[in-house]
Amino acid sequence: MDTERTQEYLEAIYKRQQDETPVSTSSLAEDLKVSQPAITDMLRSLESRGLINYTPGKGAYLTSLGNEKALGVIRRHRLWERFLTDVLGMEWDKVHDQACLLEHVTSPEVEEKLADLLGNVDTCPHGHSIPDKDGHIKKEDLMPLTEFTLGEKLILIRVNKEDAALLSRLDRLGLQPPAVVRIISKNKNGAIEVEIGSNRIELDRETAIALLARPYKEEKESKAEEMPLSQLLPGQTGVIKAIEGGRGKLGRCFSLGFTPGTRLKMLENYSRGPVLVKLHDTEVALGRKMANHVIVVKDNHGS
């Protein structure tokens, strides 16, 4: 089994490779907070094990085997981030460090159960894609807010910087994926002003670069209609997005199989009584008060 140190290096190289190939020792030293001589020693070790290709003075990049192992670490990390936010109710600016600890001690069996519990969700709380169990990862055509033109309406997809202070500020401003914003103004220094709902927010250049988005398409996005489970009509289908309320409600819902990412179908919806749904090929009754706390994305094509 790879050591924690090996996993950290492979993960760091993978992330850097998205913008820099080969990855320089100075970049890795910055990311991993270790000296360049230590980086060089480790890169030679990784190359001897067939995990990277390394050229002194130029840098390193992952081999197929190294890429596979890196995606495994990233998958476990992002699944744990989702679990910590969705199940334990931790704030999204506090989960990264905890996930860093858990990713190294997660067995394949636990990883599979974790993914099932979360409904095989495909993004972490910050909008990064989660590799599937076969090592495939979804690619999206995204750009920083600074790259869009005035007046464009956008949907935020990802926060591309793992910084607790930044995430905390974005949370206070309501700028969490999939928030919809419009570019109102752009300054020469790179700062921009966005409109979200009835509020206008000024973002410095560094923050604007960290927010990745794509154009908002009214017709396409309107299909993702969110509502409490209690409002879903008989015959309609949807995907669970979130469970609102305290840990007691979360625990009760999860014990019945109501987890984010799970698809369900409404069988019976009594006006003042419980709802009867089908999920995981099982019929489950849920009290109306509890069903009000289960938020689903209605599938307009489902039946």
Task: List CB contacts of 98: < 8 A, sequence separation 6 or more.
Answer: 80, 84, 90
* pTM, to two decimals: 0.73
Which CATH architecture best describes the domain 225-299? Roll (2.30)
pLDDT for 126 beyond 90: yes
Which CATH architecture best describes the domain 143-220? Roll (2.30)
The span from the CA of 74 to the CA of 177, in Å, is 20
Which of the four pLDDT bands, split at 50, 70 and 90, describes residue 16?
very high
Domains of the chain, residue spans: 4-62, 143-220, 225-299
Tokens of 250: 């979360």
pLDDT for 253 beyond 90: no
pLDDT for 303 beyond 50: no
Which CATH architecture best describes the domain 4-62? Orthogonal Bundle (1.10)
Q: Tens digits of per-residue pLDDT, 138-196?
A: 888 999 999 999 999 999 999 998 899 999 999 888 898 888 999 999 998 889 999 98
Tell me which H or E stretch contains 284.
Answer: strand 282-286
Q: Do domains 143-220 and 225-299 have the same CATH topology?
A: yes
Which of the four pLDDT bands, split at 50, 70 and 90, describes residue 245?
low
Compute the average pLDDT of residues 17-44.
Answer: 93
Tokens of 17: 């490779």
Which of the four pLDDT bands, split at 50, 70 and 90, describes residue 217?
confident
Q: Tens digits of per-residue pLDDT, 3-12?
A: 999 999 999 9
Q: What local confidence, expressed as pLDDT, does residue 90 receive?
A: 86
